[in-house]
Structure 1
């Protein structure tokens, strides 16, 4: 065994021996001073710990110090009753501290016991009990949180073990403190009983055995008994205070003194108020300014010093931040941040700042959140975070929408006006600033608030500027959704699906198709504004047909057919028939005859003049259907749908191309025109 182990064992054995063997008074004085030193040391250590587990030995130490104190009480009692003396330390406390007055000494002793027993010990015991209970109740949740962080890769196995061990030690610590606080409580009770025994027994021994007068015996033994009680209870009070500090100490980065100075004195202006109140108290009460104004001045001066110190600290922090930024700019690694491109950016001129400023009533940020939620529900795609910022290079009322750093849309807003869109005929009584609705390019007017109600009565659709921006942003996202889906986003969608459909995902990815190939299929769907939210059906179709072909364009056609009900409902308006434009048999045959094959797949090799004729005839039919209030739909055979879509997507991007196999069997189809050459 090590020397320190033998020392601790010897100290414990010595404490037990003290209760049995009488000790000389000089040794008793020495041990009483050690007891006081140990208590003061424990109190200072408790004040400087940052969290309770740093003083985890405290429950055991509390038991040993209590035992040591009781052993000293037994030895001092033996000395007082046997010889009428208890050494210089007890005599000093009995005469100097309490002025030799037994009554005063007894009252002081009683007050100390009440403070320790009722206030500090009782409170510490309750705090330890509640902390132990809540720590035990919180253990399962903390364990689950650690397991989740470990599975997510946020913690290593070693860090997880350390955190689990810490949770267990916290529970053990508070449980031990709950029991150890009972020792302090019992020690206070024992101190009162020992003092009472010393006084009564000492009086009897002094009068009956030593022949002292009653007054002399009472005076002598009361002073010694109270002195003995004070010598014991003052260290006990210090340790009880340390017990309360340990069990009420929350986890912190600093010790108690630093937390007090930072938190209690964090508001220097409050000290000015306190100093003013104390100063007024000296003016308007009999206390007088001689006693209050020095204190008030000291408090105000302390507040001034702290306020100046806080300003200097703020300046130093700003300078340090600036130096850090300059160092980052000078470092070669800082260039990496410059090449990163935001997926979506919304920039606006300075006149539109109230649109995004919450303090000025702007709700653009809330609308963007709702747009992302709605887009996820409609299209099944998680829109990346949209970067919103002002740009002084733009005109005051102008805004720009960028996708991956490139401008894709632009518009202008008048925040003090409303956008009124014509119902199809213009009303001369509606006066405003002519413009175009940014999302769909419809003719519109910017009208004032006074003209708003009149425009609504005239049949105009009137919207406020934030709604205009929200609609425009939504349409831009829907149009460019395919550009926002990368391999990483595709992997996240597949991983999310794997939690509920592991067999389906494992069959397709990566056994049959790679992440990139699945991404191409999803991009093809998004490019034609087909929602990918039903990812289960999409992967089911891929699993069924990937054995026949791995051409992502052909696989997309199979997926579209599997999503026939969804696609039909997307274009079906109400319960009426679906009005479509079709290709004549001659045009269908012409397209089929010009489909060529290559190593990269099939493509349509059509004469440019013929392509131009198809564009012209189709545009005429689209105009007719649009004038009738129907969305432009082109219905083709399954073999040509993909090629027709690629043929017209640049010239007529708003025309949806469907195949016969993509229509639900329950829907009625009505011809709205035929494209014939």
Structure 2
């Protein structure tokens, strides 16, 4: 057991998990435990190398989130520098009287060789580095992080809506949407953390100044009072050691501050910083040539350092000539900067002429094409109102009808009129219209009290008379009894009407299988017993399409599946199965037509006409029946007239017929009377009272 435990503790995963806690414990221990001079040299060198490494990682990152751990690294490096300051202060004050190398070779090198052993020069250099770090770099980086965090947080709702719009339009899948949402949240957290982490660097700079002053004062006290040194000697030794200590800590701090500035100052995700600088600063030959000319003129002025100016002017002139001969187009990576050869161009042309399956693009199930003036309504960057309405439309369709329709693919079409739109189903236009952003459509529902001045038109969804009016006439239209809607609502309503009208065509094999899978999660046994053991998916799809074609929703899938499972053993005909399902759904069908417990007021067939139609159906089944042309014309005219009378009375036009005739008459009549509902006697629940208000065929 002990061997297994030891092996698990020594695994790479366990060591990685222990690395961070051990590093923090080690840093904190340096503040308390005394360190020898050699250990200080090692840790100071490690601190310098770590800061350089952090700066290089920041430069080579393609985007800020590639270095998302930077705020944590900033805290750890700051804590490391402060702990080294404490450890070096201890050894300087304890061993400083022994000589300039008492605190290690690194501090001695920074105190002697970098500032020439001159305390005044050392103080000035330290002060300048601190000012550069504290006032310039850290303050600027902190301000950028603060503003970026604020703007990123303000932009989050818009970015989330853009992701939802892409998801609803079918441009991305669920996994890509989750990845983008996670990236937006990480971006907000990153800039918020950077805003707070920049305070570490500022505090580190202030602490460096205070530590310098405290160390100088403490060194003078220790040297004069404890080691009986002369004041000048103590000042020289301890001041140089303190300055060396301060410079050793301040230079890595400055490097880390530069790395922080590089990370938060990034704009765009176009590659590494070095590539962006080369492409954007040194790629324009005109700029380089003008710079060379200015330096050349300055180099000709007497008293100026002519050689230096002429040398740099020549360098920029050569660079301008080289850029003119080798222009940069596209990304700044090395492969993109290479000039293609004739062979490469020929190969690319030959490859582009080869046809492939990638050239075969599938037809969108649902498509919406808009003219260029309607683009703001569907532009995710401008938070188009129509995108939100389409998202709500699909959700309401799924709740009301019972399945999730295909996403609406939206694209602009310059061949359309500027304010026109076109709705297509499987590549075929099923509706079109015009909308005017900034204006409102005032629809006449039939009871307005006065006319309006505006662009006369018709409601594209229902064909009602309407006017396009300005926003200033909106209140007047309301007062006159018009129904007033904006342009995005007009398009969304038209789209919703057409989707409901073509719901059966939207239920494909893939949607049917997805619906069965959804039901199978809650009732797996029910689906397993039916599909594919008793019925294929195609038959189930045909039954559901038959229901949808006549305006019956399929939300009650449990009842539908149970009825199919009950009769599938002896009935395979989709029409006969549809009749059995309609009988089981009779309560909901009648409830949708006659809400509450009111009586069912319907039209019925004359007994004589009913006998004739029953003979026409004969033994060939509902699909094999044929009606004599004269009788069909008379039947159609009477049904249209009676249906219009029913609608004028505020009643739904419903024709009650025997079950054998229902499919034949429904298919025959609904093309001329789309609002007519043909129901079978068996579909009316026993607890509903039936009243026949009109008889079809009494005068036929």
Tell me, yes or no, if structure 1 residue 645 matches structure 2 residue 666: yes
Q: Secondary structure at the match of 1:672?
A: strand
| 1:236 alignment partner, one of 242, 246, 249 | 249
Instruction: Report if aligned partners of 1:482, 1:527 keep a CA contact under 8 Å in 2.
Output: yes
Tell me, yes or no, if structure 1 residue 376 matches structure 2 residue 395: no
Structure 2 length-normalised TM: 0.57
Tell me, yes or no, if structure 1 residue 580 matches structure 2 residue 602: yes
Change (3 A) 1:499 1:69: same
CA deviation after TM superposition for structure 1 residue 613, in Å? 0.7
Distance in 2 (CA, whole Å) between partners of 1:34 and 1:517 is 78
Instruction: Report if aligned partners of 2:543, 2:575 keep a CA contact under 8 Å in 1.
Output: yes
| 1:224 alignment partner, one of 234, 237, 243 | 237
Alignment of 1:417-566 (within 5 A): 421=444, 423=446, 438-440=460-462, 444=465, 469-566=491-588
Distance in 2 (CA, whole Å) between partners of 1:153 and 1:391 is 28
Q: How many residues align?
A: 544
- Provide the residue aligned with 2:645 in structure 1: 627
Q: Secondary structure at the match of 2:660?
A: coil
Please provide the CA RMSD for this pair. 6.4
Instruction: Give the greater-gyration-radius structure (CA).
Output: 1
Instruction: Report if aligned partners of 1:561, 1:662 keep a CA contact under 8 Å in 2.
Output: yes
Change (3 A) 1:197 1:429: closer
Instruction: Report if aligned partners of 2:219, 2:238 keep a CA contact under 8 Å in 1.
Output: yes
Distance in 1 (CA, whole Å) between partners of 2:361 and 2:233 is 89
Distance in 2 (CA, whole Å) between partners of 1:455 and 1:239 is 71
- Provide the residue aligned with 1:47 in structure 2: 55
Segments of 5+ residues of structure 1 without an aligned counterpart are 1-11, 128-151, 160-169, 171-176, 208-213, 266-308
Change (3 A) 1:655 1:615: farther
Change (3 A) 1:354 1:192: closer
Q: Secondary structure at the match of 1:496?
A: helix
- Provide the residue aligned with 1:279 in structure 2: none
| 2:688 alignment partner, one of 640, 660, 667 | 667
Distance in 2 (CA, whole Å) between partners of 1:111 and 1:419 is 71
CA deviation after TM superposition for structure 1 residue 236, in Å? 3.3
Segments of 5+ residues of structure 2 without an aligned counterpart are 1-25, 62-66, 146-172, 180-189, 191-196, 282-322
Instruction: Report if aligned partners of 2:603, 2:656 keep a CA contact under 8 Å in 1.
Output: yes
Change (3 A) 1:238 1:414: closer
Structure 1 length-normalised TM: 0.59
Change (3 A) 1:596 1:191: farther
Distance in 2 (CA, whole Å) between partners of 1:364 and 1:587 is 50
Alignment of 1:171-250 (within 5 A): 199-200=220-221, 202-203=223-224, 207=228, 217-239=230-252
Alignment of 1:290-305 (within 5 A): none
Alignment of 1:392-411 (within 5 A): 393=415, 399-411=421-433
Distance in 2 (CA, whole Å) between partners of 1:649 and 1:219 is 111
Instruction: Report if aligned partners of 1:73, 1:228 keep a CA contact under 8 Å in 2.
Output: no
- Provide the residue aligned with 1:657 in structure 2: 678
Distance in 2 (CA, whole Å) between partners of 1:75 and 1:433 is 89
Tell me, yes or no, if structure 1 residue 345 matches structure 2 residue 358: no
Instruction: Report if aligned partners of 1:401, 1:409 keep a CA contact under 8 Å in 2.
Output: yes
Q: Secondary structure at the match of 1:674?
A: strand
Instruction: Report if aligned partners of 1:81, 1:205 keep a CA contact under 8 Å in 2.
Output: no
Change (3 A) 1:38 1:664: same
